[in-house]
Chain A
Amino acid sequence: MVAIGEVNVLMDTTGPPRRAARRPTRSRLADRLLSISWWRGIVLVCTGAFFLIPLYAALRFSLQTFSGGFSFSAFGAIPSQQGFTAALSLSVRLAVVTTLITLGLMVPTSVYVHLRLPRLRRTFDGITIVPIVIPPVVLIVGVLQVAPTFLKSTPYLLALMYAILAMPFVYRSLDAGLRAIDLKTLVEASRSLGGRWGSTLWRVIMPNLRTGLLSATVLTVALVLGEFTMASLDLYQTVPVWIYNFAQDDGHVSTAVSLLALVVTWVVLLVISSFDLRRIRRTAQIRKDA
């Protein structure tokens, strides 16, 4: 039986026989894999040691008592330390406000650049790198010289500064997210159905940009919780500044706070990341079921 569209062609089919692809023998392959694993192991151990040894030293120091024994008393004393709660509260507020400012500015900007100015994407890439090039100390000293008094008198000037510092990371996260979706088609589909720009951004773009938004949030929060220079020069006591100041009074408690701050930051970042991880797993499961 002949299939519709079947083509018979008069042509020379006698070409040179294909050479069988040369494959490495199994033992050679295993050797190569083993050698790669060995080097990977070395790199992993060195990297792990680089990060873990200081942490171990800090943990040991914070647990050590004057009598030479070990105790959690330094950790237990943290909440009662003067200024700690206020510093923590300020850091959290700054993290929230900075995230809102950053996303509020960068989401519409990134969408606009992708939709209307795709040719300027590289230029915009370059502009967003500038805050990395300028040292924070230069930025804050300059801003403090020119900022109006009503801004200088509030800690939220720091949030504006942090928004600038976070810009390179946030833009790259959002850019990656926007590249992953068919932005133009989604926007046009929404508009053809009567969606205004606000509803299109809120109901169509942002839900589909969740991964980008989450990584932008994670990076912004991490940056704010760890930033020292600007807060210190602006004379506000955030957690990093408080740790530095308090270290001169009680090194054990100060080190315990550092460790705790590190752990809390990790937990916060893990929680934020897990939102997206759960979604990815659920999607993968749905696809598998389908």
Chain B
Amino acid sequence: MTTNTATNGNTEHIGATVELGGLRRRFGATQALDGFTLTLQPGELVALLGPSGCGKTTALRVLAGFETVDSGQVLVDGVDQSRIPAQKRDMGMVFQSYSLFPNMTALDNVAFGLRMRKMGSKARRARALEQLDLVGLESEAAKYPHQMSGGQQQRVALARALAIEPRVLLLDEPLSALDAKVRVQLREQIRVLQTRLKITTLFVTHDQEEALSMADRVCVMRSGRIEQVDTPSVLYAAPSTAFVAEFVGTMNRIPGVIDQGRVSLLGTTVDIRAVAGPDHAGPDHGARASGSPVDVLVRPEGLAVTPAPHGRGLVMTTTFLGSVTRLGVLLDEDVMVYVDQPNSAPQVPVGTAAEVTLTERDVMVSDPTSPGTAQVAGASEVAV
């Protein structure tokens, strides 16, 4: 698949400002949205990231006009959308499941929105072909959806959504049904097109890699609430809650003990990171008495493994990840930790007794009984 980046004056858009204010939506006993507030700047791509059932798709559907809210408001360029039906909102949407109309060719699918806007047949065809060219599928214009691969179908769906020159582009897990290679290619293509066309885009995903690689900002959600909205690098390096820390990237939870405002673990004592700010403040770690048990949150790159015949750990798994090898080490008390080892370092085979050491100077700590209540703050920048 090639990324077609041919420029065309007709495809330049100016994105809209989207404001979702205090959205609340309940489905029976489930609070899908609980005071959800988010603003998207013109031309910005924001990813809604979170586990299943956290309300991310509901937020997107509310913006699309497919779902109503119990309270709160949706503003696009300052205009309240609550009384505007979905078909009049000018929002292009790409769905999780293949949503092309099976009875129409790729060309007719892309032209559908233009037909609904009463565009003449010649102009409609020309614009549809232009959009198919934009996603590199002009040669497939006459094919029906069942004659195309999943990746091609989603690219046609993207062309169809873009053809109507939407004010906002909504992507509802559009890559989740695709295989890994196509997914990476398509997400790059979406990002290139979105940046070029400057369309304000809301992208729902549960795949953190997708969110971190594509979005200008990532909004991590849990139980209908926003946990943190930040750029991918800040989110990874400075998560404001333990939930975000554990949801974004791989995070180890290692038992530790508070020791005079610091924390002891793996035979060493290190500082606890300061709290980020008033929005994300947790309980003050200084309030914990010395000797209190805590969970220490450490990323795999914050640990090191050295073979040691009488070490506290046993290497159980090794996973080759390209630039690093991830070792799964079983510590005392049945605690499994993952450690990233550069491939340039001596390899540690499975079954080796080893010592695990901490390489970070300060760490995040969390209440061992209630995940998600960490006292955290970001200090160091980590490249994603």
Contact = CB atoms under 8 A, between A and B. Distances in A.
A7 B319 contact: yes
A195 B116 CA distance: 6
B93 A189 contact: yes
B164 A194 contact: yes
A181 B93 contact: no
A72 to B, nearest CB: 46
A191 B87 contact: yes
A186 B101 contact: yes
Contacts of A190: 101, 112
Contacts of B26: none
A193 B316 contact: no
A245 interface: no
Given A181-B102, A185-B97, A287-B146, A192 B317 contact: no
A5 to B, nearest CB: 7
A192 B64 contact: yes
Interface string A264-290: 000000000000000000010011001
Contacts of B64: 188, 192
A190 B93 CA distance: 10
Given A9-B316, A192-B86, A204 B101 contact: yes
A8 interface: yes
Nearest to A6: B320
A196 B117 CA distance: 11
A191 B86 contact: yes
Contacts of A134: none
- Give the one of B102, B157, B160, B351 with max A CB within 10 A: B102
B160 A193 contact: yes
Contact of B93 (A192, A196, A287): A192
Interface in B312-326: 314-322
A286 to B, nearest CB: 6
B144 A286 contact: yes
A16 B101 CA distance: 51
Interface in B99-142: 99-103, 112-113, 116-117
A10 B316 contact: yes
B91 interface: yes
A9 B66 CA distance: 47
A133 interface: no
Interface string B38-74: 0000000000000000000000000011100000000
Nearest to B93: A192
A230 to B, nearest CB: 37
Contacts of B317: 7-10
B316 A4 contact: no
Given A182-B97, A186-B99, A10 B87 contact: no
Nearest to B88: A194
Given A185-B95, A186-B101, A208-B103, A8 B350 contact: yes
